[in-house]
Structure 1
């Protein structure tokens, strides 16, 4: 008997509703009537088409759809005014981080339109589907994070493409042949996007600067600066403006200032420094106290607000320190000559002068403009020799300040400051920029001497304004707007995760008894000194801390244990210090408070530029690490596991601190799973464990300069590999 054909099951009401919703989700900008929707979902029967019409009105009433005209519907957004920042994923899709701090909104690659990573955008937010994350579509790019892009040119006979780092832009930039400016195939160049047609996959750009051949040191360093949207050259008109500034100091200017030219004064700086922006003076007073002058280059005497030099300085906001060079905030005539406190030259300063007893307790202070004449320029090494031997130029003065600084430091830690004395990695570099070797720079007594008095000055100027003190010392009205350097308390979740990790080493980060978090951290950092896990634990401890930023809203500085703190001591290389100098003088002169809103925006800009500068510095160090190990491929080194992720193991070589990745694919003796909570990889079959802090032997497998990436493999004779 012939079997009946099985009837195709008609979708039920809920299934049809889901199908209707899907059409609108996939086409958020389009409008449809019920006939179009019925056709798209295959609802051909009259009853099904009628149900579609009913569903459309229901979805409109529930807030899922908007009826834009009679019988025509469109997906309803939460509101077109939602703005946020694009955080792009490796797949090309992105999450929009809303300005108002709400839930991140997912945007597919097609709905990103021309938005790129870091751009500030306006999005159309779709109504939330049940059990789905928030989704949306970019409708406007409000502000590009970057205008310029750096990459390698791939030139064909009739056109070219600029191939950029995927993390910056996940599309190659099309460059017409007549927009190459003479750049050749394989060269590193900077380009800007001039248009991005709506239906075009790739943006269209033009070359604005040729950096040079790939692998050339200058080209690579300039490429790093361009990658982080940092300047790598100085505008000629700004340099010309600086050259016109007179070096002469008029007598009437000297008459306005406190004169320290006959007091023993000196600078201590790195041996290769040219911009000496701070000096110290010291003398014994008749009342038995020590008068210590902390003298800072008076940059704002020479750089007036809203001039070419000032505007350029504000845009840069900071000097950038790459591994082989300094990109100055101010033109060299100012930073290395007029404002540099060179020995045996009269120099204008803004100073904090304190009177302190033998226990380093400040009894009196004064802040104002001065003139000095430095007796001697010391390198840190020279000053350290004086401290260690007790002999040399100005030995009495240096030894006195060293003794006072050590007491200031002890008092600071007693108040709850956190001690992060990290070892700094430096490269010996030849004239072509090639790294020849690595050395470690440690902070010694001479460094700490300067640090303590700079901290004291920064603290004092912040107290002067934050506590509403005037030059007379009397309390006045509420604090005027000022620029503070603030540092928030550690994130509790991060600190708890960190505490769990250090327990695996038999250590304890959680405060014991009446300890504060800062005291418990100091106890922990003391306990790991000299141990194999020292660098890993110090690195993770730093990551638990908040980032210090600039703000007009003072919350204190947690890491330093100061209620009031600012940046006053480096105006040659930090624009916030110039802001502080101007505000200080304004308020000392009795001026009114400035706009908090305006200065907060300036603070945000300076904090952002500081972060970019730090990122560029790290990128330059990474490049030199890769370059240093390029001719050491195949060599075996002792290492420590410095990071664990689903991609593999990050290993830091002990002897040179270079870090590379052992990719998961190269751990081929087992299937390894990532245990995020315990910072380790565990073999599913063998139960072998690779944990943060473990010592291993690695072999340098690949050193990719283009990607600034080191790939290691575990050496086959390594115990960790065989256990």
Structure 2
């Protein structure tokens, strides 16, 4: 929607507007905010569109989509018109003698969230709801008598359109409710509609190979899956034919079970991605599919969409074959087991893992001549039966992770070559401003580099210097912060980080809707069905934009849950001092815990320090509602 609203500044014709945005246009015309001139629609003077921010005192600030506004627009609380934090809104500018531009919200064009989460709290004798995200209090559409029957701190889900209470989630003082809070904030659900559950269950538990005579039968090949220990859904299996130097990447054939616009598909498109908490997963597909008939479990037949990738003696790809098949995985490995095999501490039961690793290790070397090897550490937390933190670790890439990654990259690249338009995974080069900011931050750490137009070469030089100084992990964090986020798009723009001209996501249709769309497109190409291919591309730009946003939301849900767990831990450790390092230092200083636990964010005011500085921090406050920890620096290290 942002791009559509931007287009109104220079005029847009009706034929260029998607069906969803046509409804928005009609609303804008009826409000006299948009006018038509010579077949094009323009935003009228005196109106501006943007995203709404709301401070803790209830004052609003519009972040305009119009670049002519160099400063945000002030919106007093009385002029918010029941709009919410993060909404995309239409604002009418107000005439004022003050220098600061102000306005009032006319209408919310797109809600940031359909629902809000509040907890009950007394203000004097009145029981109000306090918004979990903004901290703003609001009256509730229920009688004070009925509200007072509930314990103080009761968590309620509110419909943002009409203010109605739709669900009682639990109580904010109960640690067992944290996943419900994180899901509800972003209007996610762990429950599936009855119709989608019934559709999924109708496929049963077993695959009868006789029902699929046109599929290539690969059940005799020694495929295996390699996943985390806790994984329940297995998207991908691999097999290596050493004599022919052929790598098979077999992916769960979800599109065989989920047709466009059936109940499962509608819900999967709305979810976009599976969400993973440390103790549970909220899948994109019903469990009957994600953990059963689609999942490539060992020793049972499963339907797959498979790439067979042939390499020559110099490890160049010489042939990429794509076909529908049936496999029977011979072994379910976890990453730790494969690492033990590669270190000669465990037997390679299927016989080809070590040889494939040697191949992928060399493929990786070739790939990194153009791409980057960022040492990303993913935070993992362990919980006890009371869902309290017991341990934290940073999970790093091991040889087993790299083996799987390079096989999946081969398949993703091969898939991207086959589509002219569809669902690409793009990662564009970083903005010049962010690169200069990165160089400034690095200079404070003793890295003296000047800007050069060959950004890939510049980044590799910085990484080489970091290797020499022994702080590669920390420097990679700064480089990653300077990068743009990868996004989905209907058009190919390449992938800067990987160094690929074309890239897409093919390998995870159980947990990513983008991959499911791609599978359908590829099958249409295999069948030379141009009509169905074009049908699948209807509104594809809007779908890709939605997927990029849903991906960010899925990440936010998972991060919010972790923040909540850290906040509960911090509330039991007020006044204690811990080792930390500075992870952000622009608007407010943020320290990351680096002690008995790692990764918790601690917000610190009134203090400045260079990035990555080591400091000792006393925890002064933990707000469980907002999932924030506050502290003060007691010592530089």
TM-score with structure 2 setting the length: 0.85
Decide which of 614, 617, 625 is 1:695's aligned counterpart: 614
Q: State whether residues 183 and 210 of structure 1, in contact with CA within 8 Å, keep that contact through their aligned partners in structure 2.
A: no
1:488 corresponds to 2:454: no
* Structure 2 counterparts to residues 625-644 of structure 1, below 5 A: 625-644=566-585
Q: Secondary structure at the match of 1:220?
A: helix
Q: Judge conservation of contact 1:509–1:521 (CA < 8 Å) in 2.
A: no
Residue equivalent to 2:506? 568
**Matching of residues 90-109 of structure 1 within 5 Å:** 90-99=56-65, 103=69, 106-109=73-76
SS at match of 2:549: helix
Q: Matched residues in 1 for 2:80 and 2:289: separation?
A: 45
Q: Are 1:507 and 2:447 an aligned pair?
A: yes
Cα separation, 1, equivalents of 2:461 and 2:446: 13
* Partners of 1:344 and 1:311 in 2: CA distance: 32
> Residue 152 in 1 paired to residue 142 in 2?
no
Q: C-alpha displacement at 1:654, in angstroms?
A: 4.6
Aligned residue-pair number: 590
Query: Among residues 306, 316, 328, which one is paired with 2:271 in the alignment?
Result: 316
Change (3 A) 1:653 1:632: same
Counting only pairs closer than 5 Å after superposition, residues 155-554 of structure 1 correspond to structure 2 as 160-165=127-132, 167=134, 170-177=136-143, 183-193=150-160, 195=162, 205-251=163-209, 253-285=211-243, 289-389=244-344, 391-394=346-349, 396-415=351-370, 417-465=371-419, 479=420, 481-510=421-450, 516-529=454-467, 534-554=472-492
238-247 or 95-104, which deviates more? 95-104
Q: 1:558 to 1:656 in 2, by over 3 A?
A: same
CA 1:451–1:495 in 2, change beyond 3 Å: closer, same or farther? same
Indicate if the aligned counterparts of 1:386 and 1:395 stay in contact, CA closer than 8 A. no
Counterpart of 2:86 (choices 118, 124, 145) is: 118
Distance 1:158 1:111, change over 3 A: closer
Distance 1:526 1:432 in 2: 45
Q: Deviations over 1:626-680 (max 9, x none)?
A: 3334433333332222222454553532553234446335x6xxxxxxxxxxxxx
Distance in 1, matches of 2:224 and 2:149, equals 51
Deviation at 1:510, TM superposition (A): 4.3
Change (3 A) 1:319 1:393: same
Task: Report how far residue 240 of structure 1 moved.
Answer: 2.7
Q: Is 1:712 matched up with 2:626? A: no
CA distance in 2, matches of 1:534, 1:655: 22
Say if 2:156 and 2:165, in contact at 8 Å, map to a contact too. Answer: yes
- Could you tell me how far apart the structure 2 residues matched to 1:119 and 1:428 are? 35
CA distance in 1: counterparts of 2:119 and 2:508, whole angstroms: 37
For 2:540, the equivalent position in structure 1 comes to 599
What displacement does 1:451 show? 0.5
86 and 704 in structure 1: CA distance in 2 versus 1, 3 angstrom threshold: closer
1:176 Cα deviation from its structure 2 partner: 1.5
Q: Post-superposition shift, 1:390? A: 7.0
Gaps of 5+ in 1: 1-65, 67-76, 196-204, 466-478, 668-680, 682-689
Aligned-partner SS, 2:373 = coil
- Is 2:207–2:293's contact at 8 Å kept on the other side of the alignment? no
Mapped to 2, the partners of 1:413 and 1:211 lie a distance apart of 48
1:26-61, CA deviations, whole angstroms, 9 ceiling, x for partnerless residues?
xxxxxxxxxxxxxxxxxxxxxxxxxxxxxxxxxxxx
Deviations 1:403-446 (A, max 9, x none): 1111121111102x122121222222112211112223221000
Q: How does the TM-score come out when normalised to structure 1?
A: 0.76
After superposition, the Cα gap between the structure-2 partners of 1:495 and 1:652, relative to the gap in structure 1 and judged at 3 Å, is farther
Q: Secondary structure at the match of 1:389?
A: coil
Secondary structure of the equivalent of 2:629?
A: strand
For 1:532 and 1:190, the matched residues in 2 are separated by 48
Alpha carbons 1:105, 1:133 under 8 Å: kept: no
- The residue number in structure 2 matching 1:198 is none
Residues 138-193 of structure 1, C-alpha deviations (whole Å, 9 max, x = no match)? 222223222211121236999742211353x7341423228769744321121224
Per the TM alignment, residue 80 of structure 1 is displaced from its structure 2 partner at its CA by: 6.7
User: Is residue 2:523 matched to residue 1:585?
Assistant: yes
Separation in structure 1 between the aligned mates of residue 267 and residue 118 of structure 2, nearest angstrom: 26
Q: CA deviation at 1:123?
A: 2.7
SS where residue 411 of structure 1 aligns?
A: helix
Partner-residue secondary structure (3-state), 1:262: coil
Task: Please say if residues 532 and 693 of structure 1, whose CA atoms lie closer than 8 Å, have aligned partners that are also in contact.
Answer: no
What is the aligned partner in structure 2 of residue 35 from structure 1?
A: none
Q: Structure 1 residues 710 and 84 mapped into 2: Cα distance closer, same or farther (>3 Å)?
A: closer
Q: Secondary structure at the match of 2:352?
A: helix
State the structure with more CA Rg: 1
What is the SS of the residue equivalent to 2:136?
coil
Q: CA deviation at 1:88?
A: 3.3
| Higher RCO (Cα < 8 Å, 6 or more apart) | 2
Sort the Cα spacing of 1:161 and 1:527 in 2 relative to 1 into closer, same or farther, 3 A: same
Structure 2 CA distance for partners of 1:166 and 1:586, relative to 1, 3 Å: closer
Q: Which runs of 5+ in 2 are unaligned?
A: 1-31, 33-42
1:193-220 Cα deviation digits (max 9, x unpaired):
464xxxxxxxxx3321111122323312
Work out the CA distance in 2 between the residues paired with 1:83 and 1:331: 38
Q: Is 1:85 the counterpart of 2:51 in the alignment?
A: yes
2:64–2:73 CA contact under 8 A, matched in 1: no
How far apart in 2 are the matches of 1:173 and 1:435? 34
- Match of 1:672? none
State the alpha-carbon separation in 2 of the partners of residues 425 and 126 from structure 1.
47
Match of 2:9 in 1: none
Following superposition, the deviation at residue 132 of structure 1 comes to: 4.5
